[in-house]
Chain A
Amino acid sequence: MAQSFNIAKVVRIAGREFASTALTKGFIIGALVVPAVLVMLIPLILVLAASAKPPAVSGRILVIDRSGQVFDTLAERLSEESIRERRERMAERAAEFAQDAFGSLGSQVAGGTEAAMDAIQIPKLTLESLGADADVEVAKKLIRDQISGDGPIDPADRVLAVLEIDEDVVVIHEGDEEFGAWQPFFRPKLNNEAVGEIENAVEWAVREQRYADADLDRDRIRAIDRVTQREAQEVTEQGEQKDTSGLTSMVVPVVAMVLILVATFTGGQYLLTTTIEEKSSRVVEVLLSAVSPMELMTGKIFGQMFVGLSLLVIYNGIGIFALIAFSITGVVSLSLVVYFFVYFVLAYIMFASMMAAIGSAVNDLREAQSLMTPVMLFSMVPYFFFMPVIRAPNSTLSTVMSFIPPISPFIMIMRIATPETVPGWQIALSILVNLIAVWFLLWFAAKVFRVGLLMYGKPPNFRTLIRWVRMA
């Protein structure tokens, strides 16, 4: 049957579809306000995460120092002032690093880091030496008794750890090749910060004593140890710039793929919902008196495509703004942006066709779930394969997957975004294969759409859908 195709009506349908989806409070909040608020909240989240850490630990640490050389240095190292001083120095260094790396934006990050450091409280530890000949079992029994004992114990009295340090930990016995060791026995469920602090302090103290015993200058050894690297540079035609290989080979491909996926499924999901809504509110036959099913479906698909596109334009805009803010250039080329939109349109139309077919076939969203499962599986494939594809963009696996619609657009955009060159014929072929798939899926969807819209009652399965295609 010959079908008229009135472009003005299609545009009209698309316009309503776009307006009723994108110009609503829900969409604007979901698509714009929520991400913006999240970004602004990052420093606050850092602080909150830090302050959510367990309260400062206080208690006793019993040391059996059989060497007799470590305890004093260790006690000094774990004193409250010493710990505070170290923390402050660490915060300063983090702030400097952030400033260097991110410029003006970095100072905000640095502010967050400092606030986070302030929020962590300093543990109060009392060190007690049990002498060189103490029995470790007796000391351990103290912890055990405290745990099994009734009644509360003053936090300052709690034994947090027993440290047993070998006699030859600083000076090697004659004939031996290695130094002695040390062993901590902790109270159960002691928090990680405290454990880390204690372990680092013992290491520090032992090493200090070894340097002294060997008559070595500690500062000199540290200077020898430190090899400083200046910021990596890429030499390009325009001159030198920051090394962006990490960004181009990992971040950009994944972000491009995820953006296309998000936009495709946002548009697709809305298409499914509005189609079901039109069917269940019975407005669809009223519409069919004015437009043909093909005009209706095309209008709806295009309307939601512009919803997806506006998301992409906004998010890309933010992304490009961020790159400029971090003064990173040359990461995203114009051709990449063009391919990005080409592959989005291809991916979107394929998934939107499936969504339109499903939406027209069912009576409510719940019934759509079972038909949606295979579609959702397709959408997960790019996530499973992004690692192997990014690592080896021209491997057999990557190449083969580039020609399998409907996942092909997601794979191709990742390959194109990596620094490696994808052969031109592969890009052309993948676009061709996708165009064929687009044509087939639109044809299939149009058939299902025409029949499904007026079918109420029992939800269909795939066999029914294929019967409808034959029928239409």
Chain B
Amino acid sequence: MQSGELAIEMRGVRKTFGNKVAVEGIDLEIPKGSLHGFIGPNGAGKSTTIRMIMSILFPDRGELSVLGKRSAVESKDRIGYLPEERGVYKKMKVGAFLHHMGRLKGLDAGVSLRKRVDEWLEKIDLPDVSKKKCEELSKGMQQKVQFVSCVLHDPDLVILDEPFSGLDPVNMRLLRDLINEQHQQGRTVIFSTHVMAQAQQLCDHIVMIHNGKKVLDDPLDVIRSRHRPESVWFDPIDGSGVDRVARIPGVTGVSVVDGRNRAGFDGSIDPTEAVRVLADAAPMHGVELHRPGLEDIFISIVTGNDLSADDKARLRAELRGTGGES
């Protein structure tokens, strides 16, 4: 790929904190106009990678370019960044805060900036907060205001570190729509999350990071097609159905996941064939091919078969966003 078409390029980037290696030899090419998701559990190295892209931290080794410049410092006004550790000036009024951030991002003061702030506040369903102090807003509202401060100056590159954490479902959807809008307007958008489902809903390209290393970097559809289904959901009419399914040759086992029966099968059966065989084996309410989600793919990539069932469950909980925020 021509480097002129790249928003971000990283070559062999490494960062350590004391003895701890936070990021190890990451190569990355993010084309302009794409919507990239950085996924991985808490502490994987996502924020460190993003902070290096933003020139808030500097790599110990490796090369990096952002929007064609050697560092983000030179193109700060063309980047919108929502850090994971984010906040507002508590005593400042919302309108004044956004005005201040807009000015720092190189926008000219005046009527147009004030109008732009008001329009954005309208867009995030907070039309009347301009004169309120930031501390009077709920955490979720503050987060939306922070999102505005990040995109107010129409940046070419939008970087969002865990943008959904702490939002309720309604605001999560609002933010998702706003991110999509940014993408559709041709901006390059990168966001990180430890909740795989969010990445699955939004991104067209996934970068998976684990223990400071990049373990996956592909378009979402390529990942899906590469990881073909290896299990089938089934709902037998009576209890004997489960035993019969377990006895089918090629079925490796039956387990109950999220209150539903799931049968795994080995490579000897084709996925579509498996659905037919199961339906024939016992009377069923329904049989459905299980498409592996990012969560399953991630767990299979990073753990192989080394992890105990308990550890897998813990990792799965974290990847669903129920394992606590950090």
Partner-B contacts on A (CB < 8 A): 1-4, 9, 12-13, 16, 20, 277-278, 281-292, 454, 456
Most interface-central of A1, A16, A286, A456 (chain B CB within 10 A): A286
CA of A290 to CA of B101 in the docked complex: distance in angstroms?
8
Q: Which of B58, B76, B90 contacts A281 (CB 8 A)?
A: B90
CA of A154 to CA of B47 in the docked complex: distance in angstroms?
85
Shortest 9 CB-CB contacts between residues of A and residues of B = A282-B87, A289-B81, A285-B83, A290-B104, A281-B87, A283-B87, A282-B85, A285-B85, A288-B56
Contact with A along B44-88 (1 / 0, CB 8 A): 000000010011111000000000000101101101111101111
> Would you list which residues of chain B between 76 and 125 have a CB under 8 Å from chain A?
76-77, 79-83, 85-92, 100-101, 103-105
Closest to B109 in A: A12
Instruction: Decide if B100 touches A289 in the complex (CB within 8 Å).
Output: no
Q: Knowing A286-B146, A289-B81, A290-B104, say if A1 contacts B56 (CB, 8 Å).
A: no
Q: Knowing A12-B100, A281-B90, say if A1 contacts B74 (CB, 8 Å).
A: no
In the complex, how many residue pairs between chain A and chain B have their CB atoms under 8 Å apart?
70
List chain A residues, Cβ under 8 A from B193: none
**Known contacts A286-B82, A288-B83, A289-B80; 8 further A-B pairs (Cβ under 8 A):** A1-B58, A1-B71, A20-B92, A281-B87, A282-B83, A285-B83, A289-B76, A454-B51
Q: Which of A1, A12, A283 contacts B89 (CB 8 A)?
A: A283
List chain B residues, Cβ under 8 A from A290: 76-77, 101, 104-105
Partner-A contacts on B (CB < 8 A): 51, 54-58, 71, 73-74, 76-77, 79-83, 85-92, 100-101, 103-105, 146, 149-150
| A357 CB → nearest B CB, Å | 18
Q: Which of A1, A282, A291, A454 contacts B86 (CB 8 A)?
A: A282
List chain B residues, Cβ under 8 A from A283: 86-89
Instruction: Decide if A289 touches B83 in the complex (CB within 8 Å).
Output: yes
List chain B residues, Cβ under 8 A from A288: 54, 56, 83
| B109 CB → nearest A CB, Å | 9
| A466 CB → nearest B CB, Å | 15
| A351 CB → nearest B CB, Å | 24
Instruction: Decide if A289 touches B146 in the complex (CB within 8 Å).
Output: no
List chain B residues, Cβ under 8 A from A4: 73-74
Closest to A12 in B: B103
CA of A291 to CA of B100 in the docked complex: distance in angstroms?
12
CA of A98 to CA of B132 in the docked complex: distance in angstroms?
54
Instruction: Decide if A286 touches B149 in the complex (CB within 8 Å).
Output: yes
Q: Which of A12, A13, A284, A292 contacts B73 (CB 8 A)?
A: A292
